[in-house]
Amino acid sequence: MTPGLLAFSAAFLASVIAAPLIARLCRRLGIVDHPDGARKLHSAAVPLTGGPTVLLSAFVSLAMTLWWYPDLFASTYGDTRFLMSLLA
């Protein structure tokens, strides 16, 4: 399996698993967008979970790829600017 395919697969699987869990948590905590009839035309309250799900999926993808291919970023050791931008 190539690093790109592994990263894609890990991110996809993490998002499929995390999205319903985070949505359920947001519904419990009341972090939802309620329809108002004027601009928001959805029929029920929608959880605001896009950001945390994407962030978690990206983190899992990067962690899994680095675990499977530990020398993938060997050429960037010491390149703090690149690693900080990747982290951001």
What are the pLDDT digits (tens) for 47-56? 888 888 898 9
pLDDT digit of tens for each residue in the chain (88 aa)?
Answer: 898 899 999 999 999 999 999 989 988 998 888 887 777 777 888 888 888 889 899 989 988 988 898 888 777 777 778 777 877 7
Q: Is the pTM for the entire model greater than 0.75?
A: no
The pLDDT, as a whole number, for residue 14 is 93
27, 81 in Cβ contact below 8 A?
no
